Structure 1
Amino acid sequence: MGIKGLLSEHAPRAMKDHEMKTPCYVFDGKPPDLKSGVLKQRFGRREEAKEAEEEARETGTAEDIDRMSRRQVRVTKEHNEECKRLLGLMGIPCVTAPGEAEAQCAELARAGKVFAAGSEDMDTLTFHTPILLRHLTFSEAKKMPISEIKLEEALKGLDMTMDQLCILLGCDYLEPVKGVGPKTALKLMREHGSLEKVVEFIKGKMAEKAAELAEQEIESEIESEEGEQFVVNSDGEEVPAPKVEKKKKPKKRAAGGMQIPEYWPWEEAKKLFITPDVVKGEDLEQPDVEGLVEFLVREKGFKEDRVRAGAAKLSKMLAAKQQGRLDGFFTVKPKTDAPKRKAEDDKKGKGGKAAKKKK
């Protein structure tokens, strides 16, 4: 995201249109070992995008190049550390989760530290967040309304318990189960009552299908071993016997082709959702004005008067528990040419204010 995105692009509509109170930013910590497969896939997709960009530079359009370039964007540790430092100086709480940020968001919401968890990841509900807000950080250009999902109402509508909120559709820790979509997952859960029994059912069907395929292979081998049959015709000659087509046995459907991957540690994944690695939320702090000046002015080149004005505005907003757009605190304006700026200064009085003409 970076400093620019944090100041001017992150959650613009949500904070402005919905009069949101002070936000709390949560950063990912160390990912669980079970997530290594997903991380490898993401790295692979970035490498593919890099190759596609090189090809687009030779044969594609500027739009193709830009699209492939965006797919390679990766938030670095340095980006995160700069954003954390800026948030701390502004007095806006931020938490670095020991593990998954979504799990930490859910913990803060359950503890009453925040109103809701904001994420596009539906796994946040499985971490037991009371309220999930989606499309919270979409830009104004996308014009997507914020979607509020209340866990209790969702479970009631689905006639499920929290423990039944299964991961059959796949998550960052497990591959999806082949042949199982949303409707089938809900149907299986209602029929069998628990994820454990659903897994037993699917594995049973997989065993039946494997046995059926093995039987078909044996029959095929026997037929091939019998070889070609011969008969003696009316002239006393030995000729191939006419082939008699055997009636094929109807093939059975084995639970719609459902198949669980060979390595599918669902019990470990479920533990990560039920008892994730999280910490308690931190208390709000007032902005560190001098720290903001040192960081934004001395190190990042912002104008000091604008930073101090923004810090004062931020302090007032935080005190009122009302948070506006972050880019409202530090507005970036185009530079004024030196001659024009001098002419403007000449029009001002010694006190720094524009002199009024005498009537």
Structure 2
Amino acid sequence: MGIKGLTKLLADNAPKSMKENKFESYFGRKIAVDASMSIYQFLIVVGRSGTEMLTNEAGEVTSHLQGMFSRTIRLLEAGMKPVYVFDGKPPDMKKQELAKRLSKRAEATEGLSEAIEADNKEDIEKFSKRTVKVTKQHNDDCKRLLRLMGVPVVEAPSEAEAQCAALCKAGKVYAVASEDMDSLTFGAPKFLRHLMDPSSKKIPVMEFDVAKILEELNLTMDQFIDLCILSGCDYCDNIRGIGGLTALKLIRQHGSIENILENLNKERYQIPDDWPYQEARRLFKEPIVSTDDDELNLKWSAPDEEGLVTFLVNENGFNSDRVTKAIEKIKAAKNKSSQGRLESFFKPTANTSVPIKRKETPVNDAKGTNKKTKASGGKKKK
């Protein structure tokens, strides 16, 4: 879910903290990517039609592999150095949010059954997407693929977005790429939305700068975290009737959630029973992340050509010629990236950012994922 309404709140109240950049402007940049978010989008869109999905000969879904393979090649060809971060064990405080998601999937499954019985194609399409869940197998498949491609993988001890933010704060990557805004609450210095969108959508990358956010909102980092909790986050319910703008006004007026609660009109605003905002605050300020330099020694290497052919072609039914051509693209991209980084020491970098022209960035609905990624040669699974 992320932080409710944070993009619009920042667009309206801290516009200088946001800038639009071209996808190509991140040439040579190391970017930490929230893997689960990407896999989820691939499962929803790539090769899907109603309840049908791409599969290999064994009937195992391959949409996530096809999407991850094509999207990562696009990043590499643009000269970027992605590192994918995978979720570990979710914190106990997220159990409530996960239970809500499970309930919604159960409702969607029931709705899908009714839609299939009524042969309502529109509802079949809608409900089938709502039943999607990223599994351990999906994650393991993508980890294996990325390592074969020579792209580093980080397995977070807990929340991937917290680990992404930690990598960014440590200077190991330039920015964090995701669609959920939690990374900013975890303190990521630079945050990118729409980097992982397909080129067909033609949406510019939106870059957020946390230091400028704090400056424009005139808040400390602690106050910004409280603002995000009040707006609504994954760890606890928010106070009904308090959205982002009201939360901002209250934080500016009172400085902290504790002071707000002391002065809040209890008749107008109902505070949830046993509201664990302090624990949520602690998770944002002191998340469980790995800081081991050996574990976080990010290395981009040449692709394992034989391993990729075995995994994608032999085991998952991808087209052999297309995989071979894709491997050549990876090799060429890595050579290009290395040359570009050396040249960057001698040439000034052009400023390709443009000022914000609108108040709200488009919401990424995951539609329109690259429809040309037909590399799998997979079958449709009903």
Q: TM-score, normalised by structure 2?
A: 0.66
Please state if 1:177 is matched with 2:239: yes
Q: 1:191 corresponds to which letter in structure 2? A: Q
Shift of 1:285: 3.7
Contact 1:174 1:269 in 2 (8 A): yes
Q: Give the structure 2 partner of residue 128 of structure 1.
A: 187
Structure 1 pair 117/40, CA: closer, same or farther in 2 (3 Å)? same
Structure 1 pair 289/10, CA: closer, same or farther in 2 (3 Å)? closer
The separation in 1 between residues aligned to 2:220 and 2:119, in whole angstroms, is 51
Counterpart secondary structure, 2:124: helix
Please state if 1:318 is matched with 2:329: no
Please state if 1:8 is matched with 2:70: yes
> Structure 1, residues 233-286: CA drift from partner, whole Å, max 9, x if none?
xxxxxxxxxxxxxxxxxxxxx4xx122210211111111111111124332142
Contact 1:125 1:132 in 2 (8 A): yes
- Segments of 4+ moved more than 4 angstroms: 9-12, 303-306
Contact 1:26 1:101 in 2 (8 A): yes
Q: Give the structure 2 partner of residue 268 of structure 1.
A: 279
Q: 2:332 corresponds to which letter in structure 1? A: K
Q: Give the structure 1 partner of residue 375 of structure 2.
A: 332
Shift of 1:150: 0.6
Contact 1:10 1:137 in 2 (8 A): no
The separation in 2 between residues aligned to 1:333 and 1:122, in whole angstroms, is 32
Q: Give the structure 1 partner of residue 85 of structure 2.
A: 26
Counterpart secondary structure, 1:147: strand
Shift of 1:41: 0.4
Counterpart secondary structure, 1:320: helix
Structure 1 pair 319/284, CA: closer, same or farther in 2 (3 Å)? farther
Please state if 1:153 is matched with 2:212: yes
The separation in 2 between residues aligned to 1:307 and 1:128, in whole angstroms, is 39
**Superposition pairs for residues 1-359 of structure 1, below 5 Å?**
1=39, 2-8=64-70, 19-59=78-118, 61-165=120-224, 166=226, 167-202=229-264, 205-206=265-266, 254=267, 257-280=268-291, 281-286=296-301, 287-304=303-320, 306-321=322-337, 332=375
Structure 1 pair 122/74, CA: closer, same or farther in 2 (3 Å)? same
Identity of aligned residues (%): 46
The separation in 2 between residues aligned to 1:333 and 1:3, in whole angstroms, is 8
> Structure 1, residues 123-170: CA drift from partner, whole Å, max 9, x if none?
211100011111222234544332111111111110111111111112
The separation in 1 between residues aligned to 2:233 and 2:85, in whole angstroms, is 20
The separation in 1 between residues aligned to 2:72 and 2:300, in whole angstroms, is 21
Q: TM-score, normalised by structure 1?
A: 0.70
Structure 1 pair 322/301, CA: closer, same or farther in 2 (3 Å)? farther
Structure 1 pair 141/313, CA: closer, same or farther in 2 (3 Å)? closer
Structure 1 pair 48/9, CA: closer, same or farther in 2 (3 Å)? farther
Q: 1:161 corresponds to which letter in structure 2? A: T
The separation in 1 between residues aligned to 2:172 and 2:260, in whole angstroms, is 36
The separation in 1 between residues aligned to 2:377 and 2:157, in whole angstroms, is 41
Contact 2:97 2:235 in 1 (8 A): yes
Shift of 1:308: 4.5
Structure with more contact order per residue of length (Cα contacts < 8 Å, sep ≥ 6): 2
Q: Give the structure 1 partner of residue 9 of structure 2.
A: none
The separation in 1 between residues aligned to 2:113 and 2:126, in whole angstroms, is 12
**Cα RMSD between the aligned structures?**
2.6
Counterpart secondary structure, 1:23: strand
The separation in 2 between residues aligned to 1:80 and 1:305, in whole angstroms, is 26
The separation in 1 between residues aligned to 2:260 and 2:144, in whole angstroms, is 47
Counterpart secondary structure, 2:247: helix
Contact 2:316 2:376 in 1 (8 A): no
Q: 2:278 corresponds to which letter in structure 1? A: E
Q: Give the structure 2 partner of residue 351 of structure 1.
A: none
Q: 2:299 corresponds to which letter in structure 1? A: L
Contact 2:66 2:376 in 1 (8 A): no
The separation in 2 between residues aligned to 1:62 and 1:308, in whole angstroms, is 37
The separation in 1 between residues aligned to 2:136 and 2:174, in whole angstroms, is 28
Whose radius of gyration is greater, 1 or 2? Answer: 1
Q: Give the structure 2 partner of residue 245 of structure 1.
A: none
> Structure 1, residues 270-324: CA drift from partner, whole Å, max 9, x if none?
111111111243321422233223322332233555544533432332243379x
Contact 1:129 1:151 in 2 (8 A): yes
Structure 1 pair 87/334, CA: closer, same or farther in 2 (3 Å)? closer
Counterpart secondary structure, 2:231: coil
Structure 1 pair 333/175, CA: closer, same or farther in 2 (3 Å)? closer
Q: Specify every segment of 5 or more residues in structure 1 that has no aligned partner in the other structure, as ranges.
A: 207-253, 336-359
Q: Give the structure 2 partner of residue 348 of structure 1.
A: none
